[in-house]
Structure 1
Amino acid sequence: MRASLGGAAAGVLGAPVAASASSAGRRRTTVFVAGDSTAATYAIADIPRAGWGQALPVFLRHDVAVVNGALSGASSKSFADLGRLDLILDAIRPGDTLLVSFGHNDEKIEDPARGTDPWTTFQDYLRLYLDGARAARAHPILVTPVERRRFTADGVPYLSHGEYPDAMRALAKDTRTPLIDLTALSFALWSKLGPEATKDHFLWLDAGVSPNYPGGVADNTHFQAHGAIEVARLVVTAGCTIPGRDNRALHDPSIPDDVLTWPVSRPAES
């Protein structure tokens, strides 16, 4: 995937990260993403579904690369156990940044391959990401899980991630790790937009609108392009230490959905 506006090339794990166009020919600073389906990069067959990691390049200068390793269905535990964290740590270099965002699937405590306890194993696994990045002299940033679209029958929004965001906030404080509180930021945005307007951000489509979803879809967890772009905007705006932030793009309220492109296959699953 490559964003055509204000962004950088997005790579895949196992592929070489593009070098800078500078005369010195040095490797570009890279932002890596470790996360789940809400951040993942999706394929042509998934259009208009997109993850916020897929949209990150829109808000970064072209001298910063993005390698989105976010994997659908992953928790902090399964991502590490499947070797996905090792792939990132093999590729990450001094000065790079690692965004770490889990919680959605850690909550599935009935699944021993993915479930974690917020105050014990969730924090234990997250420390693997922080310690690994720091050992490589890279910069980890914790990102609390983006909030789902959840409203009562009266249109009142409510939180859905239990104690996982608080556990991540506490870990960030304890380890002196920068934190992007995406749970709070996204909840504030969904609260402002309300039940109907949020459908334009989440993967809500009427039957016949998209050939990839001929019967329509009502998904309160995953995003279509517009939502992925706006969540990526929240991440980069709050991520003061993310390198190469494009302030012009961040302050552009009318970035079109077609700024995103989709690869032939989902890179994290290829």
Structure 2
Amino acid sequence: MPFSRRPLGQQPASRRFVLRAAATGAAATLAIALPGGAAARASAAPPVHVYVAGDSTASTYVSSLAPRAGWGQALPVFLTADASVVNMAKSGASSKSFIDLGLLDRILAVIKRGDYLLISFGHNDEKIDDPSRYTEPSTTYKQYLSRYIDKSRAKGAIPVLVTSVERRHFDGAGRISTSHGAYPAAMRELAAAKGVSLVDLTASSTALWNRVGVEGTKKYFMILKAGQYPNYPDGSQDNTHFQAFGAIEVARLVATALHNQGVLPSADFRRLTDTIPTSSIVWPTT
């Protein structure tokens, strides 16, 4: 019987066996040699693909930039071989510029029925002084996001909106100061209007940063001492992007939401509550 993806929340028809290898901007998938009938099942039942369209907070970074990492780069550690991540997130991209660069078209050329498209923009849509990236929350932002939704649905894929992860900006009382303005609310409104699953990463990351606190969040972000890492001899004071530990924990927030909402079958997830070593992240060399 030919394989078909079952409805959301149900177990997949059979297990699929692949080896996921990260590559810049995408994850390459290589088949494992399996004995007898298992190999036949693997070839008959390829993994569903989870595409990530987003910005620098989700991007895959090369080894020369380690320990910097994006949550899309870390997402594979929480998914089994049944779900292969293809991270197309691009540093500096907005919902508009990602399309203008042809990156959505690249995804649409290969995405298949039953695949998923995680859509996470906002950090760069906010840049009102850059017309190549700026979108207005209640109008053009929703219009561009709608193109991702409508075009992926036309291919039989399942779009999922992901609000922007919050920055590490604390107020005088030690609580997170919101930095994304009207964009998260606009995405929530669009998700409700179009019946799209929503991962509210703005809310979940804000809660995490408030729980961990001003000092505790330093190990999540690119807050590095001079000489701490060879790639950053002068250190770093970046309150937007993540080092490996932070990328893993933000990816955990995304994966947990996808699991709890039944967006992907439960069998597609692993290690959601485990301690994950930072060595689990793959930094490609080029």
TM-score (norm 1): 0.90
Letter in 2 for 1:92: I
Matched, 1:215 2:204: no
Partner Cα separation in structure 1 for residue 94 and residue 145 of structure 2: 10
Q: How does 1:123-134 map to 2 (within 5 A)?
A: 123-134=142-153
Whole-angstrom CA distance in 2 between matches of 1:243 and 1:55? 19
The within-5 A match list for 1:128-147 is: 128-147=147-166
Q: Which moved more, 1:30-39 or 1:20-29?
A: 20-29
What are the equivalent positions in structure 2 for 1:87-98 lying under 5 Å apart?
87-98=106-117
CA deviations on 1:86-145 (whole Å, 9 max, x unpaired) are 000001000000000000000001100000000000000000100111000000000000
Residue equivalent to 2:221:
202
Distance in 1 of aligned mates of 2:156 and 2:270: 29
The residue matched to 1:120 in structure 2 has which SS?
Answer: helix
Structure 1: gaps of 5 or more residues: 1-6, 266-270
Cα distance change on mapping 1:94 and 1:11 into 2, 3 Å:
farther
Q: How many angstroms does 1:203 deviate by?
A: 0.6
Paired residue for 2:5? none
Structure 2 length-normalised TM: 0.86
Q: Specify whether residues 14 and 62 from structure 1 end up closer, same or farther in structure 2 by C-alpha distance, changes over 3 A only.
A: closer
Counterpart residue number, 1:99: 118
Q: Look up the match of 1:255.
A: 276
Structure 1 residues 40 and 244: CA distance shift in structure 2, 3 A: farther
CA RMSD across the alignment: 2.0
Cα displacement (A) at 1:11? 5.5
- Say which is worse superposed, 195-204 or 241-250, in terms of deviation: 241-250
Aligned CA distance change for structure 1 residues 14 and 183 (closer, same or farther; 3 Å): closer
C-alpha deviation, 1:247, in angstroms: 4.9
Larger displacement relative to structure 2 (51-60 or 238-247): 238-247
Change (3 A) 1:256 1:168: same
Deviation of residue 244 (structure 1)? 6.1
Q: Which runs of 5+ in 2 are unaligned?
A: 1-18
Match 2:81 to one of 62, 66, 86: 62
Mapped contact 1:11–1:66 kept (Cα < 8 A): no
Q: Which has the larger radius of gyration?
A: 2
Aligned to 2:66: 47
Q: Are 1:73 and 2:95 counterparts?
A: no
When structure 1 is superposed on structure 2, of 23-32 and 177-186 the one drifting more is 23-32
**2:168 alignment partner in structure 1:** 149
Residues 209 and 11 (structure 1), Cα distance of their counterparts in 2 relative to 1, 3 Å cut: closer
Q: Which amino acid aligns with 1:249?
A: R
Deviations 1:7-65 (A, max 9, x none): 94445679975568751413321000000000000001100000000001000001221
Aligned residues: 259
Equivalent residue, structure 2, for 1:23: 40
The equivalent residue for 1:162 is 181
Partner of 2:203: 184
For residues 157-197 of structure 1, what are the alpha-carbon distances to aligned partners after superposition, in whole Å with 9 as ceiling and x for unaligned? 11110000000000000000000000000000000001100
In structure 2, the CA distance between the partners of 1:195 and 1:88, relative to structure 1 (3 Å rule), is same
Between the aligned partners of 1:118 and 1:169, the Cα distance in structure 2 is 11
Name the % identity.
Answer: 56
Segment of structure 1 superposing worse, 15-24 or 211-220? 15-24
Q: Which residue type is aligned with residue 211 of structure 1?
A: P
Cα distance in structure 2, aligned partners of 1:58 and 1:14:
15
Task: Give the direction of change, closer, same or farther, for the CA distance of 1:217–1:13 in structure 2 (3 Å limit).
Answer: closer
Partner residue of 2:249?
230
Q: Deviations over 1:233-265 (max 9, x none)?
A: 00010013135665540011x211111120012
Do the aligned residues in 2 keep the contact of 1:44 with 1:263 (CA within 8 Å)?
A: yes
Counterpart of 1:263 in structure 2: which amino acid?
A: P
The DSSP-based 3-state class of the residue aligned with 2:138 is coil
Q: 1:120 to 1:245 in 2, by over 3 A?
A: farther
